[in-house]
């Protein structure tokens, strides 16, 4: 039967819809596509179709022609084979690395090439088979995910004779680049696979296993006798070390002198400055001929260049005790640890390599302790010594008893002990025989029982000997101060010890104790021998001062009774407290704290009450010992830490307690400064009074008496008690005889501070509570007048800034601002903490949160480190959100100050970064911002110095300088900008640089020109602020310059007029100016020179550093 299907769609429909019965479709037939329009399909099938089928076929357009003349039909296995395949574009071909592909190769010889190409391209998932087909062989290669490069062989080019097939349905493979419409419906016969080719040809492929290209993965070789077998070397290979050329560019740091060594050194010291000598240490090693080693001591500057006839050496591989000749290195190159192990295993020995011929060498060494400062061995002598004078002194020498100065001790009150039988103090001449520890001894020695039978320290008995010791001490002190090494450098350790020994021998016990404490402080550990010496010094000092001694003289050691007796003293002297502090540390080091543990509670209370008498170091060591004794009481230690830090925050280091006497004035000039200031004080006072009278105008005459009070305070700080009393009394007569509570209250407040100064106490801390209570009893206006001065005066309120308008503005300001302002009036710590927590818990706008955070930072010293750290963590994230530069400056300023205070170094860097960022944005800052920046500069300067971050401070100053860089015309500089520039000038002076005179002169010209006076009240305000900044900046300049400038300023300065409400009682502006002067004179930086100030800064930094380090260790367990 012949059928004609009008198009492909009809043919497919009749097949898939079952119009043509299945058994007909699946039987062999003959088909052809005839190129008509559209293409028609002719089918000749053997089976006859029923009438129903034919009817249905006709209904879809299929006709049944009688003949197919001229049409050649092709035999097919089934009708589906006659359906043509569709060509697919190259870009539509998709395949992945998991697509199985069958390659059919007509030419079997191409199989290896194809396989290897794919192997080369990284595909080894290949298997193949070769099948015969009517005498011809065909290779079938099955590949999972073949490379596209190989697939292209089979696409569109018959020349290769390669066809690729992808699986359209199970066992049905259609040639790549083609698609068969019914492929997914075709099911090949069992055991066969069907390949549908591009031209529509169907090939059946009997299923047969494929052979993997890696059928054999391992190739086991037959065993053969091995020609080589492993043997152990009988002897290790020895490699002799040799010296080779190398390292010529390094400076010489050690010289080994063998030829005329002594003469060379003598000649050297006779022609070399002592500054160079202090950089050198030397040792004499005696063999046949003396060999002298001269080594450069570590320092910041480069080693000095010296000319010696000897072996020049340099440290090798940064091993500090190994020296190689200059221009040589060890060959073969070895690891540093290997070199150290072989050549300089003992850290206590200095090893140098002596070259021999042929690169051979010999290590030589001396004991490290043999190296002593070269200056120790050099005595500068006068040919004509003071012999005649000595003889005269000798003949007229009067032998007085030792004089003990008690001026620096609190006035002795009547003391009582709780013991029923008070024990008399041991006389100063008691036979205490504790030997000073002049040499470092092993730990075991420290645990020796301290025996009163030990000999007394070897004191010089003849004046000549004493003079020699004093000269030596003086020389060492000069060398100490002349050295550029930081205070915590390892070389300093020995210097502290030597200085302490000498002071001890000279009977300067308090100084010796202080030096011992430095030795202990900088030791990595507790330095047992130094602790023993410290305790011995304190014992002897107690005896010398007639204080109670902790050692029971009969027992020869500390007993329960002697300890109890000491603890029972109600008002102990500083010597007694120091003695107990030293004993506490000593006992802890010795491991014999039994006595103390039995009275632990009393000891704890004792130190709590009396710790202010101790130096910061002594105090901290005591608390550390107590904490250790209590099994690691970190809480008590943390509280002690907070108290000590608060003390440092308020006062810095207390010079008399914390700093050795010889460091309090560098080069002996400091005392001179103090004397000059004291001598000029009266003249300055008169000058200031003239200035005040000239500028009073409408302000109260009482201002002059407040100025007297300020100078009384200055006199008290200078030790001019007579002058102080005179000024205070004259002020009292003027201020207290008028029935005005404002004057009365302020006089009392000033006198409280003066009294602090007279007693040698820091002028610091909050005013007594009774004063505040009394103040709250005043009416609103009176209180305002008091508060206004409190707000301005850093004498009255040294730390916290209060808002005098808070009562007035209470109805205008919001609840939040009121609460924040009120925080400063809260004196109870817990209450303050809970108030702050409540405020932080409330949702706040960024600006409000900044205010709160700033206030919290300001209050942090009262609330401890934990609180401060939490607050600090919020500073940077909040700063990122703030836009107002003034708020940002305030926040960062307080953040830096607190980070410095609590040693939160990790916060300092981001805060500095933020600050730098802020500065960077302020190239044309407004006046308000400049004022805020001035504050930042002032605070950050102090904070960074305390953290030992002088470099960062210098960078900050430079950046500030860039930001406030004025316009070209000096006349155009605003006074506010000039103030910041003055602050910068002061900063430069701090660094010893005279870069600020231009700014100072500009400010002077502006102040004296009277230009600002034309602006009325605003001008007066600007004039006042500029004058204050001028005074402060000049105060950092050399002393004589500063005094001359001040006197000049007070002689010529006008326009400081106060028209504010408070001028009925005082001129706030005049007092601002005078107080700035007073604070500058009495401030930490004026009476000491810059070098000494730097010692103080370093001392404070080192104290803080160890406190924080010990605390961290304690917390870490």
Tokens of 724: 């102080």
Least CB distance to another protein at residue 945 (A): 46
Residue 159 binds another protein, judged by CB under 8 A: yes
| Half-sphere CA count of 318, side-chain side, radius 13 A | 3
Per CB under 8 A, the segment of 142-150, 582-590, 626-634, 727-735 that binds another protein is 142-150
Burial class (CB in 10 A: 0-12, 13-18, 19+), 854: buried
- The answer to whether residues 280 and 252 touch, using CB atoms and an 8 Å cutoff, is no
Nearest residue (CB) to another protein, 160 versus 197: 160
Q: Which residue has the tokens 């290779």?
A: 139
* Sign, CA torsion 758/762/763/765: negative
- The answer to whether residues 513 and 578 touch, using CB atoms and an 8 Å cutoff, is yes
Least CB distance to another protein at residue 124 (A): 15
Phi/psi for 333 (5° steps) reads: -65, 130
Per CB under 8 A, the segment of 114-122, 211-219, 525-533, 877-885 that binds another protein is 114-122
- Among residues 592, 557, 596, 594, the alpha carbon closest in space to that of 580 is found at 596
Nearest residue (CB) to another protein, 101 versus 850: 101
Nearest residue (CB) to another protein, 90 versus 842: 90
Nearest residue (CB) to another protein, 149 versus 377: 149
Per CB under 8 A, the segment of 155-163, 252-260, 293-301, 794-802 that binds another protein is 155-163
Least CB distance to another protein at residue 101 (A): 16
Cα–Cα distance for residue pair 504/507, rounded to 1 Å? 5
Binding mask 623-652 for another protein (x = CB under 8 A): ------------------------------
Which CA distances in Å does 988 have to 958, 994, 1051, 1081?
A: 10, 7, 27, 19
Residue 152 binds another protein, judged by CB under 8 A: yes
Phi/psi for 165 (5° steps) reads: -125, 140
- Among residues 562, 556, 529, 530, the alpha carbon closest in space to that of 430 is found at 556
Name the H helices within 600-668: 600-610, 616-629, 634-651, 655-658, 661-664
Residue partners of 39: CB distance under 8 A and separation at least 6: 7, 8, 33
Residue 120 binds another protein, judged by CB under 8 A: yes
Out of 28, 47, 121, 338, the residue judged to bind another protein by CB under 8 A: 121
Residue 1015 binds another protein, judged by CB under 8 A: no
Out of 7, 56, 160, 1048, the residue judged to bind another protein by CB under 8 A: 160
Nearest residue (CB) to another protein, 91 versus 815: 91
- The answer to whether residues 47 and 24 touch, using CB atoms and an 8 Å cutoff, is yes
Nearest residue (CB) to another protein, 160 versus 819: 160
- The answer to whether residues 342 and 241 touch, using CB atoms and an 8 Å cutoff, is yes
Residue 1045 binds another protein, judged by CB under 8 A: no
Phi/psi for 525 (5° steps) reads: 130, -160
Which CA distances in Å does 308 have to 266, 275, 373, 542?
A: 12, 18, 18, 52
Per CB under 8 A, the segment of 115-123, 434-442, 1069-1077, 1088-1096 that binds another protein is 115-123
Least CB distance to another protein at residue 167 (A): 22
Tokens of 749: 């407040």
Nearest residue (CB) to another protein, 121 versus 1115: 121
Nearest residue (CB) to another protein, 144 versus 869: 144
Per CB under 8 A, the segment of 150-158, 430-438, 680-688, 925-933 that binds another protein is 150-158
DSSP 8-state symbol, 345: -
Cα–Cα distance for residue pair 545/555, rounded to 1 Å? 22
Residue 112 binds another protein, judged by CB under 8 A: no
Cα–Cα distance for residue pair 286/370, rounded to 1 Å? 12
- The answer to whether residues 852 and 820 touch, using CB atoms and an 8 Å cutoff, is yes
- The answer to whether residues 717 and 1082 touch, using CB atoms and an 8 Å cutoff, is yes
Angle at 672 between CA 666 and CA 676, to 5 degrees: 140
Nearest residue (CB) to another protein, 147 versus 910: 147
Per CB under 8 A, the segment of 148-156, 500-508, 754-762, 999-1007 that binds another protein is 148-156
Least CB distance to another protein at residue 152 (A): 4
Nearest residue (CB) to another protein, 94 versus 218: 94
CA 699 to chain CA centroid, Å, is: 50
Out of 7, 56, 117, 1048, the residue judged to bind another protein by CB under 8 A: 117
Per CB under 8 A, the segment of 152-160, 201-209, 613-621, 1034-1042 that binds another protein is 152-160
Least CB distance to another protein at residue 149 (A): 4
Nearest residue (CB) to another protein, 158 versus 958: 158
Nearest residue (CB) to another protein, 159 versus 302: 159
Nearest residue (CB) to another protein, 157 versus 571: 157
Angle at 151 between CA 150 and CA 154, to 5 degrees: 105
Least CB distance to another protein at residue 91 (A): 8
Least CB distance to another protein at residue 896 (A): 42
Site for another protein in 258-297 (CB under 8 A): none
Least CB distance to another protein at residue 93 (A): 10
Nearest residue (CB) to another protein, 154 versus 1028: 154
Out of 104, 153, 705, 1104, the residue judged to bind another protein by CB under 8 A: 153
Least CB distance to another protein at residue 1055 (A): 56
Cα–Cα distance for residue pair 142/771, rounded to 1 Å? 102
Least CB distance to another protein at residue 247 (A): 22
Tokens of 1083: 């401030």
Per CB under 8 A, the segment of 154-162, 242-250, 486-494, 683-691 that binds another protein is 154-162
Residue 419 binds another protein, judged by CB under 8 A: no
Least CB distance to another protein at residue 95 (A): 11
Residue 88 binds another protein, judged by CB under 8 A: no
Least CB distance to another protein at residue 174 (A): 21
Per CB under 8 A, the segment of 116-124, 784-792, 845-853, 892-900 that binds another protein is 116-124
Per CB under 8 A, the segment of 147-155, 382-390, 447-455, 900-908 that binds another protein is 147-155
Residue 148 binds another protein, judged by CB under 8 A: yes
Torsion of Cα atoms, 363 then 369 then 375 then 381, to 10°: -110
Out of 17, 63, 157, 827, the residue judged to bind another protein by CB under 8 A: 157
Sheet holding 202-206, edge to edge: 202-206, 192-196, 172-175, 162-169, 100-105, 136-144, 126-133, 211-212
Which CA distances in Å does 322 have to 314, 331, 493, 665?
A: 8, 15, 22, 39
Site for another protein in 565-594 (CB under 8 A): none
Cα–Cα distance for residue pair 996/987, rounded to 1 Å? 9
Per CB under 8 A, the segment of 101-109, 149-157, 800-808, 840-848 that binds another protein is 149-157
| DSSP line for 438-482 | -S---HHHHTSPP-TTSPPP----SHHHHHHHHHHHHHHHHHHHH
Least CB distance to another protein at residue 109 (A): 14
Number of residues counted as binding another protein (CB under 8 A): 13
Binding region for another protein (CB under 8 A): 90, 116-117, 120-121, 147-149, 152-153, 157, 159-160
């Amino acid at each position: 039967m012949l059928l004609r299907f009008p198009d492909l769609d009809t043919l497919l429909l009749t097949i898939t819809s079952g119009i043509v019965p299945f058994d007909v479709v699946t039987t062999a037939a003959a088909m052809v596509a005839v190129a008509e329009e559209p293409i028609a399909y002719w089918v000749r099938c053997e089976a006859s179709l029923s009438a129903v089928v034919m009817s249905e076929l006709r209904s879809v357009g299929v006709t049944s022609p009688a003949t197919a003349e001229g049409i050649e039909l092709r035999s097919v296995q089934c009708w589906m084979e006659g359906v043509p395949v569709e060509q697919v574009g190259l870009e539509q071909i998709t395949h992945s690395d998991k697509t199985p592909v069958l390659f059919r190769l007509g030419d079997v010889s191409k199989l290896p090439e194809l396989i290897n190409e794919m192997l080369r391209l990284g595909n080894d998932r290949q298997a193949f088979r070769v099948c015969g087909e009517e005498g011809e062989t065909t290779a079938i290669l099955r590949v999972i995910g073949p490379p596209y490069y190989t697939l292209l062989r089979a696409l569109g080019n018959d020349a290769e004779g390669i066809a690729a097939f992808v699986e359209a349905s199970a066992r049905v493979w259609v040639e790549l680049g083609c698609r068969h419409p019914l492929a997914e419906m075709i099911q090949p016969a069992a055991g066969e696979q069907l390949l549908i080719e591009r031209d529509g040809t169907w090939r059946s492929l009997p299923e047969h296993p494929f052979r993997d290209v890696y059928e054999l993965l391992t190739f086991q070789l037959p065993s053969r006798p091995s020609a080589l077998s492993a043997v152990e070397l009988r002897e290790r290979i020895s490699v002799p070390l040799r010296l080779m050329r190398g390292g010529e560019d390094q400076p010489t740091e050690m010289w080994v002198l063998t030829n005329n060594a002594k003469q060379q050194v003598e000649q050297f010291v006779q022609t070399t400055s002592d500054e160079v000598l202090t950089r050198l240490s030397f040792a004499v090693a005696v063999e046949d001929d003396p060999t002298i080693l001269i080594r450069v001591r570590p320092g910041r500057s480069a080693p000095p260049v010296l000319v010696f006839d000897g072996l020049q050496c340099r440290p090798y591989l940064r091993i500090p005790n190994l020296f190689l000749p200059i221009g040589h290195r060890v060959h073969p190159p070895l690891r540093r640890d290997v070199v150290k192990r072989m050549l300089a295993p003992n850290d206590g020995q200095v090893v140098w390599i002596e070259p021999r011929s042929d690169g051979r060498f010999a290590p030589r060494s001396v004991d490290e302790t043999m190296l002593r400062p070269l200056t120790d061995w050099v005595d500068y002598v006068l040919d004509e010594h003071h012999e005649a004078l000595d003889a005269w002194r000798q003949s007229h020498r009067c032998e007085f008893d030792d004089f003990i100065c008690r001026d620096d001790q609190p006035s002795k009150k009547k003391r009582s002990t709780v013991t029923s039988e008070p024990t008399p103090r041991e006389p100063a001449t008691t036979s205490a025989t504790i030997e000073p520890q002049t040499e470092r001894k092993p730990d075991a020695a420290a645990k020796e029982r301290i025996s009163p039978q030990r000999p007394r320290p070897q004191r010089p008995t003849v004046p000549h000997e004493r003079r020699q010791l004093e000269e030596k001490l003086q020389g060492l002190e000069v060398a100490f101060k002349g050295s550029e090494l930081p205070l915590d450098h390892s070389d300093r350790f020995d210097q502290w010890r030597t200085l302490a020994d000498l002071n001890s021998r000279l009977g300067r016990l308090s100084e010796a104790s202080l030096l011992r404490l430095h030795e202990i402080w900088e030791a990595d550990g507790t330095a047992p021998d130094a602790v023993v010496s410290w305790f011995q010094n304190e014992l002897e000092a107690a005896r010398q001062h007639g204080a109670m001694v902790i050692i029971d003289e009969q027992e020869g050691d500390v007993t329960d009774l002697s300890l109890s007796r000491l603890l029972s003293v109600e008002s102990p002297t500083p010597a007694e407290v120091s003695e107990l502090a030293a004993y506490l540390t000593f006992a802890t080091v010795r491991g014999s704290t039994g006595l103390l543990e039995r009275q632990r509670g009393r000891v704890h209370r004792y130190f709590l009450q009396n710790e202010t008498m101790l130096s910061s170091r002594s105090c901290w060591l005591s608390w550390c010992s107590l904490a250790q004794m209590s099994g690691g009481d970190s809480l008590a230690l943390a509280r002690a830490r907070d108290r000590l830090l608060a003390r440092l925050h308020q006062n810095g280091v207390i010079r008399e307690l914390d700093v050795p006497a010889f460091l309090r004035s560098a080069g002996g000039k400091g005392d001179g400064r103090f004397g000059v200031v004291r001598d000029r004080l009266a003249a300055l006072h008169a000058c200031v009074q003239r200035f005040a009278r000239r500028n009073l105008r409408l302000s109260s005459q009482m201002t002059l008496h407040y100025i007297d009070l300020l100078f009384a305070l200055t006199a008290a700080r200078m030790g001019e008690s007579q002058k102080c009393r005179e000024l205070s009394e004259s002020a009292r007569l003027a201020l207290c005889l008028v029935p005005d509570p404002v004057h009365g209250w302020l006089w009392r407040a000033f006198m409280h501070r003066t009294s602090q100064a007279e007693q040698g106490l820091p002028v610091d801390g909050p005013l007594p509570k009774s004063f505040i209570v009394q103040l709250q009893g005043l009416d609103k206006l009176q209180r305002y007048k008091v508060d206004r001065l409190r707000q301005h005066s850093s004498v009255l309120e040294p730390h916290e800034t209060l808002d005098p308008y808070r009562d007035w503005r209470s109805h205008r300001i919001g609840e939040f601002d009121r609460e924040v302002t009120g925080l400063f009036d809260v004196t109870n710590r817990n209450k303050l903490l809970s108030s702050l927590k409540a405020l932080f818990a409330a949702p706040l706008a960024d600006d409000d949160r900044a205010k709160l955070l700033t206030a919290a930072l300001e209050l942090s010293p009262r609330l401890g480190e934990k609180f401060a750290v939490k607050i600090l963590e919020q500073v940077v994230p909040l700063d990122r959100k703030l836009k107002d530069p003034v708020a940002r400056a305030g926040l960062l300023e307080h953040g830096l100050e607190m980070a410095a205070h609590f040693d939160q170094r990790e916060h300092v860097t981001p805060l500095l970064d933020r600050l730098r960022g802020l500065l960077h944005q302020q190239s044309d800052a407004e006046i308000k911002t400049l004022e805020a920046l001035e504050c930042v500069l002032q605070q950050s300067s102090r904070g960074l110095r305390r953290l030992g971050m002088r470099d960062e401070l210098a960078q900050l100053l430079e950046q500030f300088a860039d930001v406030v860089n004025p316009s070209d015309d000096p006349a155009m500089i605003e006074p506010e900008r000039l103030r910041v520039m003055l602050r910068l000038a002061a900063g430069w002076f701090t660094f010893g640089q005279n870069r600020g005179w231009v700014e100072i002169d500009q400010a002077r010209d502006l102040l004296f020109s009277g230009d600002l006076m034309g602006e009325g009240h605003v001008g007066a305000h600007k004039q006042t602020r500029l004058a204050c900044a001028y005074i402060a900046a000049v105060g950092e300049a050399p002393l004589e310059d500063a005094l001359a400038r001040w006197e000049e300023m007070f002689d010529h300065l006008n326009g400081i007029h106060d028209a504010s409400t408070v001028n009925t009682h005082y001129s706030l502006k005049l007092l601002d100016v005078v107080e700035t002067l007073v604070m500058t004179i009495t401030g930490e930086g004026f009476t000491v020179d810059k070098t000494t100030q730097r010692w103080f800064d370093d001392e404070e930094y080192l104290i803080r550093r160890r406190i924080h380090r010990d605390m961290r260790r304690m917390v870490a367990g």
